[in-house]
C-alpha cells in the first residue's frame, strides 16, 4: 500500500517550494499533474514515472492518482497551494477508505503576487476566482460586490480568458462603486517564476490588456496606497515616526 | 549598503519554509524578529547577530532593522506569509529611499491550517483577523457579516485573546444567520509546528474552549462537508464517478 501526497508546489519557481514539498517530490515513485506543472518541477523528477494529461482532465487525473497510490507512493501536484483552487479537494472527494492521503500546502498565488508588488495583503483579504466553469457568474458578481462593500483587499484568480473577456472589467466596475479612483491595483503575471511581469495602476486608470489567465489582479482596500513603486496596505499601526 | 529581506517563515516547522527563505536566512548577517519566531528558526541562525524584542514592539523592531540594513544584510522574520498580517507592510511604510527591501513570501496560516483539516479552502475564501488592536470591532463584525452573506469560506486569524473573550462566539453567531447548523468548522492550533492540535466540529455544535491566540478557525461555505474526518469544500466538479 502506497501513499498519496497532494502537493502545492507554490508559484512555480523551484526555490519557492517548501522544503517538505521538495523532499516528498524527490521521494515518491510517481508524479501526477497537468503537463505545464510537471514541466515546472522537471529537474526534481527526471527518473520518475509521470502521469499527465491536459486541462479539464482533472477528474481522470485524480482517479488515476488514487489508483496508482494503492501500490506506490504518488504525488499529485498543483501550483500555488494545493488546497486553494488546487487538487486537494477533488482528491479527497474521490478518495475511498483504502487510500492514505496527505495534503502538503504551498505559497498561494495571491501571496506570491503580493510579495512582488510590495505588501498589498496586509489586512483582511479575500481570494475570488473569475472562472465561471464551475461557479455561476451571478454568484461571482455577488461575492465581488460584498467583498468591495466590506473593504476587503481583493485578489482575483483566473482573471481573464478568451471565453469571458469582459468579466474582469465588470468586476472592476463593481468595486469602483465602493473605492476611490486612486485605489491601487496590481497585476502580476507569472509571479515568482519564469516570465514574471508586474504592473501597478489605480482603479481610475485601469485597463485590462496586460492581464491573462496566468495573472493575479489585486485591488487594494480604502487605506491602500502606492509609495516608491510599492503597493502598501497599512496594518493600522499609529506610527511614532513621521512617514 | 546592505539589503533588508522581509521573510515569511511559514507556519513554523522548519520544513514548511520555502527554499528561498531558508537560503536567505542562512546568508544574512543579522536576523530581526519577535522572540518566539526567532526560536522557531534557531537551528538556522546560530552564528548570527540577533535583534529581538517583545510583542507590540513592532515599530521599534522595523526601524532597527532598516537602520541595520544600511551596513549589513538583514532578515526580518514573520510567521506565515510576511505579507499577510506580517512585517512587510510596516517595513515598507517606514522605508526611506536609501533602503533596499525585498519581500519573500511564505505559507500563510490559513493554508497551513487548511492542509491539516483536509481541503476547506477550495473555493472563494477570505482571511479576517479578530484582533481589535488596530481595527475597529464594528468593522470586523461588518466584514464577517458580508463574508458570510457572500458564502465565502472564512478563516479567522487571532481568534481569541484574554482581552476579548467573546469576539469569536460573536463571529460564529453572525455567520450562523447565513449557514446551516451542519456547516463544518475546523480549529487548528499550532498548525504544522510543534504542539499541533486539530478539531473538527460544526456551527451547531461549536464551542470555543479549544481556541487560543495560536489557533486558526475555518468556517466552511454552504457546500462544505465532512467525510472520513476530512473537511472538504467542493470546487464544483460534476463528478462522473459516484461519491
Residue B55, domain CATH = 3.40.1010.10
Strands A30-34 and B153-157: unpaired
B119 touches chain A (CB under 8 A): yes
CB contact under 8 A, B111 and A108: yes
Confidence of residue B241 (pLDDT cuts 50, 70, 90): low
pLDDT of residue A231: 98
A118 touches chain B (CB under 8 A): yes
Tell me the residue ranges of DSSP E strands in chain B: 4-8, 30-34, 49-53, 74-78, 101-104, 118-119, 125-129, 153-157, 184-189, 197-202, 215-219, 225-227, 230-232
Distance separating alpha carbons of residues A88 and A33, to the nearest angstrom: 12
When CB atoms are compared, the residue of A18, A103, A119 closest to B103 is A119
Asked if residues A59 and B243 have their Cβ atoms less than 8 Å apart, the reply is: no
CB contact under 8 A, B123 and A241: no
Number of domains in chain A: 2
Domain shared by B16 and B86, yes or no: yes
Backbone φ, ψ for residue A77 (5° rounding) = -110, 145
Backbone φ, ψ for residue A86 (5° rounding) = -105, -155
Confidence of residue B239 (pLDDT cuts 50, 70, 90): confident
Domain shared by B177 and B124, yes or no: yes
Give the DSSP H or E segment for B174. helix B167-176
Q: Please calculate the CA angle B191-B27-B21 and round it to the nearest 5 degrees.
A: 30
Other CB atoms within a 10 A radius of the CB of residue B96 amount to 9
Asked if residues B140 and B148 have their Cβ atoms less than 8 Å apart, the reply is: no
A98 touches chain B (CB under 8 A): no
Q: Of B63, B92, B107, which closes a domain? A: B107
Domain shared by A92 and A37, yes or no: yes
B98-143 per-position pLDDT tens digit = 999 999 999 999 999 999 999 999 999 999 999 999 999 999 999 9
Distance from the B205 Cα atom to the nearest Cα atom in chain A, whole angstroms:
24
Domain shared by A178 and A161, yes or no: yes
Backbone φ, ψ for residue B55 (5° rounding) = -60, 155
pLDDT at A242 over 60: no
Domain shared by B128 and B93, yes or no: no
Distance separating alpha carbons of residues B10 and A90, to the nearest angstrom: 25
pLDDT of residue B243: 46
Q: Please calculate the CA angle B68-B74-B79 and round it to the nearest 5 degrees.
A: 125
pTM to 2 decimal places: 0.97
Asked if residues A206 and A24 have their Cβ atoms less than 8 Å apart, the reply is: no
Asked if residues A127 and A81 have their Cβ atoms less than 8 Å apart, the reply is: no
Distance separating alpha carbons of residues A78 and B153, to the nearest angstrom: 20
Let me know if residue B238 belongs to a domain.
no
Q: Of B107, B129, B154, which closes a domain? A: B107
Mean pLDDT of B171-200: 98
A97 touches chain B (CB under 8 A): yes
Confidence of residue A243 (pLDDT cuts 50, 70, 90): very low
Strands A153-157 and A215-219: antiparallel
A54-93 per-position pLDDT tens digit = 767 899 999 999 999 999 999 999 999 999 999 999 999 9
Pick from B132, B191, B129: which is nearest to B162 by CA? B132
Let me know if residue B174 belongs to a domain.
yes
Pick from B111, B115, B50: which is nearest to B79 by CA? B111
pLDDT of residue A158: 97
Distance from the B37 Cα atom to the nearest Cα atom in chain A, whole angstroms:
18
pLDDT at A100 over 90: yes
Give the DSSP H or E segment for A32. strand A30-34
Largest CA distance in chain A: 63
Q: Which domain holds residue A194?
A: 110-232
Question: Which residue of chain B is at minimal alpha-carbon distance from A151?
Answer: B143
Average pLDDT, chain A: 96
Domain shared by A96 and A181, yes or no: no
Residues 6+ apart with CB under 8 A from A73: A2, A3, A4, A5, A27, A28, A29, A30
Domain shared by B144 and B228, yes or no: yes
Distance separating alpha carbons of residues B27 and A74, to the nearest angstrom: 34
B50-91 per-position pLDDT tens digit = 999 876 789 999 999 999 999 999 999 999 999 999 999 999
CB contact under 8 A, A18 and B16: yes
Other CB atoms within a 10 A radius of the CB of residue A170 amount to 15
Give the DSSP H or E segment for B58. helix B58-68
pLDDT of residue A137: 97
Mean pLDDT of B219-233: 97
Amino acid at each position: 500500500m502506497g501513499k498519496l501526497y497532494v502537493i502545492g508546489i507554490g508559484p512555480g519557481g523551484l526555490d519557492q517550494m517548501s522544503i517538505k514539498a521538495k523532499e516528498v517530490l524527490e521521494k515518491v515513485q510517481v508524479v501526477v499533474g497537468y503537463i505545464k506543472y510537471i514541466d515546472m518541477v522537471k529537474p526534481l523528477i527526471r527518473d520518475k514515472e509521470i502521469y499527465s494529461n491536459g486541462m479539464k482532465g482533472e477528474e481522470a487525473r485524480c482517479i488515476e492518482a488514487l489508483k496508482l497510490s494503492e501500490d506506490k507512493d504518488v504525488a499529485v501536484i498543483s501550483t500555488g497551494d494545493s488546497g486553494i483552487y488546487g487538487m486537494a479537494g477533488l482528491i479527497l472527494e474521490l478518495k475511498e477508505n483504502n487510500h492514505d492521503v496527505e495534503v502538503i500546502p504551498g505559497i498561494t498565488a495571491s501571496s506570491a503576487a503580493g510579495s512582488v508588488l510590495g505588501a498589498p495583503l496586509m489586512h483582511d483579504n479575500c481570494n475570488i476566482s473569475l472562472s465561471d466553469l464551475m461557479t455561476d457568474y451571478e454568484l461571482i458578481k455577488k461575492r465581488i460586490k460584498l467583498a468591495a462593500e466590506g473593504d476587503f483587499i481583493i485578489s482575483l484568480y483566473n482573471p481573464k480568458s478568451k471565453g469571458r473577456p469582459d468579466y474582469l472589467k465588470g468586476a472592476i466596475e463593481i468595486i469602483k462603486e465602493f473605492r476611490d479612483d486612486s485605489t491601487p491595483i496590481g497585476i502580476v503575471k507569472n509571479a515568482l517564476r519564469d516570465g514574471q511581469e508586474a504592473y501597478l495602476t489605480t482603479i481610475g486608470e485601469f485597463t485590462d490588456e496586460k492581464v491573462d489567465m496566468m495573472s493575479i489582479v489585486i485591488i487594494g482596500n480604502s487605506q491602500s496606497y502606492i509609495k516608491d513603486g510599492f503597493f502598501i496596505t497599512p496594518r493600522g499601526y499609529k506610527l511614532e515616526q513621521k512617514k
